[in-house]
Amino acid sequence: MTTTQTKGDIKDAGLKAMGIQRIEWAEADMPVLRAVKEKFAKEQPLKGIKMGCCLHVTTETANLVRTLKAGGAEVFLCASNPLSTQDDVAAALTHEYGIETFAIKGEDNDTYYKHLNSVLDQKPNVTMDDGADLVTLILTKRAELSEHVVASMEETTTGIIRLRAMEKEGVLKFPVIAVNDADCKHLFDNRYGTGQSTVDGIIRATNRLFAGRVVVTVGYGWCGRGFAMRSRGMGARVIVTEIDPVKALEAVMDGFEVMPMAEAAKIGDIFCTLTGNKHVIDVEHFKAMKPGAISCNSGHFDNELNLAGLAKLAKKVGTPKPFVDQWELPSGNTIFTLAEGRLVNLSAAEGHPANVMDMSFAVQALASEYAVKHQKSLDNKVHNLPREVDEWVATLKLETMGVGIDTLTPEQQKYLASWQEGT
């Protein structure tokens, strides 16, 4: 039920108290973002800036947008996926923290785009995307808004791929910061965040045992590496499928079985796609699966499993548990898919834990500061962040973990800057 209200569009304002409690719980495990918030509150680097954010509406995102607001920005938020919204968080943001939020878990496609448009109606100067949907909407349907935008931030690999394609075609109308490509983002969030939250999502949806099961990891990028590693840690026999020979070789040397999907399809118990590509589990793979096989996706878009093809081939015969769909194939075999092929970690669980989003969102906040500060010198391309941002975030994170490291001696500094000394 949508509650009538003056601001935002959320499910139920009555969920506010629960949202506040959970947002504070996450904040307690985000020490680097807290430090950025304190710095922003003093320095006001985003003063006078209107920000339009399209992100998964989670407790961790709530702490990011509160940080942006502390830095002086006026912030508007919508969901970057119809199933990933935490309704209590949306209620708390809108009715406690003064951040208008347009997001309802389970919203249909029309409502999803209505919410993106509501954020764009505010004429943001800086946008923040997780998957590049806001930028795409501006460039395709709301071109008049480009002139207000000084920069955009992008959180995820899939979004960066889309934005680089826009850059190549020469259609980008403002600079973009590739937050995903900062080391303090993808090395930790994509690997350890996705690793843990994907296992979490599959287990919360199915309560199946991983130990002794054949888990097929489709794709061996940073997310696939994390999921394969954590599945092995739970006692699964892990198979990796890949199209990139270097990544496939890496998986082999990391000790995983590697084979084509057509073979893996026949032996897997649990399949998870993490590729950023479409139909990586296709109809012929579903056909080949063992009875009881479970397929899901942890890549950004819901097209990694060819569910439209599956719906033509098979009959959906039930939903034995929330987020679990049961399909009967023409052979009589039954297989399962999770969360309508959407991100299983954010749909059936809560996404990455706060302690890893701490780094991702500290980088996001600092990227916004960087973009606003350097708006005049950034051209309409996809830009990487300077190394100092990664070093600042990593140094602080290590400090909060009580981990010390060494520094170069003057002799070592001189040696690294020279070339004369050799064998």
Residue in the structure block whose two tokens are 């889309």:
162
Q: Which stretch binds ligand ADE (CB under 6 A): 56-64, 100-108, 242-250, 334-342?
A: 56-64
> Max Cα separation, the chain?
76
Considering only residues 250-289, where is the footprint of ligand ADE by CB under 6 A?
A: none
Query: Is the CB of residue 64 less than 8 Å from the CB of residue 55?
Result: yes
Residues 183-242 contacting ligand ADE, CB under 6 A:
193, 197
Give the burial string for 375-411 (b: 16+ CB within 10 Å, else e): eeebebbbbebeeebbebbbebbeebeeeeeeeeeee
CB 403 → ligand ADE: shortest distance, Å?
Answer: 24
What is the pairing mode between strands 257-258 and 270-273?
unpaired
Stretch that binds ligand ADE, among 51-59, 160-168, 207-215, 363-371 (CB under 6 A): 51-59
Pairs from 284-292 (Cβ < 8 Å, separation ≥ 24): 285/261, 286/310, 286/313, 286/314, 286/327, 286/329, 286/335, 287/313, 287/329, 287/331, 288/262, 289/265, 289/333, 289/335, 290/266, 290/333, 291/333, 291/334, 291/335, 292/334, 292/335, 292/336
CA nearest neighbour of 367 among 128, 101, 172: 128
Stretch binding ligand ADE (CB under 6 A), from 6-14, 57-65, 262-270, 404-412? 57-65
- How many other C-beta atoms are found inside a 10 Å radius of the C-beta of residue 245? 8
- What is the number of other CB atoms lying within 10 angstroms of the CB of residue 208? 13
**Whole-number minimum distance, CB 227 to ligand ADE, in Å?**
13
Number of residues in contact with ligand ADE under rule CB under 6 A = 11
The residue count of the chain comes to 423
The stretch among 236-244, 285-293, 351-359, 370-378 that binds ligand ADE (CB under 6 A) is: 351-359
For residue 126, the one-letter residue type is: V
Token pair for 265: 């399809």
Six token digits for residue 123: 């004429």
CA distance 241 to 221: 11
Q: How far is the CB of 348 from ligand ADE (least distance, A)?
A: 13
Pairwise CA distance, residues 248 & 400, whole Å: 36
46 near ligand ADE, judged by CB under 6 A = no
Of the candidates 35, 40, 386, the residue with the CA atom closest to the CA atom of residue 182 = 386
Residue (124 or 195) nearer to ligand ADE, CB: 195
Asked if 23 is part of the footprint of ligand ADE (rule: CB under 6 A), the reply reads no
The window from 4-12, 53-61, 379-387, 414-422 that contacts ligand ADE (CB under 6 A) reads: 53-61
Residue 152, strand partner residues: 127, 176
Residue 341 carries which DSSP code?
A: G
Residue 105 is a binding residue for ligand ADE (CB under 6 A): no
Query: Cβ closer to ligand ADE: 231 or 298?
Result: 298
- CB-nearer residue toward ligand ADE: 30 or 163: 30
The dihedral over CA atoms of 367, 373, 375, 380, expressed in degrees to the nearest 10, equals -20
| Residue nearest ligand ADE, Cβ-based | 351
Select the residue interacting with ligand ADE from 90, 163, 270, 357 (CB under 6 A).
357
- Measured from the CB atom, the residue of 269 and 304 that comes closer to ligand ADE is 304
Q: Which stretch binds ligand ADE (CB under 6 A): 173-181, 346-354, 367-375, 376-384?
A: 346-354
**Residue 159 or 351: which CB sits closer to ligand ADE?**
351
Residue whose CB is less far from ligand ADE, 27 or 269: 27
Site for ligand ADE, residues 360 to 419, rule: CB under 6 A: none
Query: Which of 11, 22, 34, 56 touches ligand ADE by CB under 6 A?
Result: 56
Contact with ligand ADE (CB under 6 A): which of 52, 175, 299, 351? 351
> Closest approach of Cβ 55 to ligand ADE, in Å?
6
| Single residue of 60, 269, 302, 390 touching ligand ADE by CB under 6 A | 60
Q: Which residues bind ligand ADE (CB under 6 A)?
A: 55-56, 58, 60-61, 193, 197, 346, 351-352, 357
